[in-house]
């Protein structure tokens, strides 16, 4: 760990001492239109908070690189599985609460009532979905109250917990890559081949500022022992997703 920290410090120092940051930027600018890239990743057409996309892009990219580096150098997160599970559970609960609170922000927007109903319905589905995921993560209270599993859960659940997803543990090595890569490919199609840009679609489509964390999520699924890393990134991805929706509803762009 100490060697890793020293290596990171020396690498960052070398970039600035040798002025590599400007050279790298000049090299990239020869192949990428910076203004268009900035507009794509860091601009949000429906939110009045102009810096929101920049913060989401920066924070999620840093988290993605950090988790990805830890996975590459130190392997699966088995040593800290309990801590990561508790942290992930808390994030899923926070997502549920933000989705519920966001429903109250819908009426403050000057949008047609028909669209308001669609937004409220979608937010309700999101809150129910993530409450279910939160319930599954805590085994519907078993992790908190430490009761014994019973019936079908003790006989057929691979971890003998009162949840449904652990019935499928043997297939996680297939399910996780399908979900991770499938989600990333779907987002690529939506981002780079956009269709009609309605307010509803822009609100509920994940913003391109989440590109790198979506890519990292797809990468870490190709090892059955890295499911904890994927679940951590997934929770952070959707936390950023619901925070953007909340802020867009609370501070809409006037147009």
DSSP 150-188: -HHHHHH-TT--S-SGGGGGGGHHHHHHHHHHHHHHHHH
pLDDT score for 82: 64
pLDDT digits (tens, 9 = 90+) for 74-120: 666 554 456 777 888 999 999 999 999 999 999 877 788 889 999 99
Helix, coil or strand: residue 95: helix
- Nearest Cα neighbor of 219 from 107, 16, 67 is 67
pLDDT band at 156 (very low <50, low <70, confident <90, very high): confident
Instruction: Give CA–CA dist 221/174, Å, rounded.
Output: 9
Higher pLDDT, 24 or 89: 89
Predicted pLDDT of residue 255: 64
pLDDT of 246: 96
> What is this structure's pTM?
0.84
Label each residue of 218-240 as H, E or C: HHHCCCHHHHHHHHHHHHHHHHH
- pLDDT exceeds 90 at position 177: no
Asked whether 4 and 73 are in contact (CB, 8 A), the reply is: yes
Average pLDDT, the chain: 85
Q: 116-148: per-residue pLDDT in tens?
A: 999 999 999 999 999 999 999 898 888 777 778
What is the structure's pLDDT at 12?
Answer: 77
Phi first, then psi: what are they for 45, rounded to 5°?
Answer: -75, -15
Tokens read off for 7 = 């290596």
Record the tokens describing residue 13, joined without a space.
């120092």
pLDDT reported for residue 79: 46
SS3 of residue 143 by DSSP: helix
**Residue 157: band (very low, low, confident or very high) from pLDDT cuts 50, 70, 90:** confident
* pLDDT value of residue 197: 79
Structure tokens at 55: 């913060």
Q: What is the pLDDT of residue 83?
A: 74
Token duo for residue 67: 């988790």
Vertex 31 angle, CA 28 and 35, to 5°: 80
Say what the pLDDT of residue 245 is.
Answer: 96
Confidence band, pLDDT 50/70/90 cuts, at residue 223: low
């Amino acid at each position: 760990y100490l060697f890793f920290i020293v290596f990171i410090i020396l690498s960052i120092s070398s970039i600035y001492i040798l002025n590599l940051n400007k050279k790298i930027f000049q090299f990239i600018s020869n192949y990428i239109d910076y203004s268009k890239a900035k507009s794509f990743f860091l601009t949000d057409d429906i939110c009045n908070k102009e810096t929101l996309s920049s913060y989401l892009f920066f924070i999620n990219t840093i988290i993605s690189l950090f988790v990805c580096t830890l996975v590459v150098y130190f392997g699966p997160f088995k040593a800290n599985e309990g801590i990561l599970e508790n942290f992930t559970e808390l994030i899923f609960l926070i997502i549920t609460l933000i989705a519920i609170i966001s429903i109250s922000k819908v009426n403050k927007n000057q949008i047609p009532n028909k669209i308001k109903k669609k937004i409220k319905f979608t937010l309700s589905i999101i809150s129910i979905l993530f409450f279910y995921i939160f319930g599954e993560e805590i085994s519907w209270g078993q992790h908190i109250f430490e009761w014994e599993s019973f019936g079908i859960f003790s006989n057929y659940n691979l971890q003998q917990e009162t949840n449904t997803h652990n019935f499928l543990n043997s297939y996680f090595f297939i399910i996780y890559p399908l979900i991770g890569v499938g989600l990333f490919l779907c987002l690529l199609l939506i981002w780079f081949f956009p269709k009609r840009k309605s307010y509803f679609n822009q609100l509920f489509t994940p913003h391109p500022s989440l590109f790198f964390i979506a890519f990292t999520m797809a990468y870490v699924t190709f090892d059955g022992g890295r499911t904890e890393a994927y679940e951590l990134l997934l929770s952070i991805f959707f936390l950023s997703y619901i925070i953007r929706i909340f802020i867009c509803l609370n501070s809409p762009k006037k147009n």
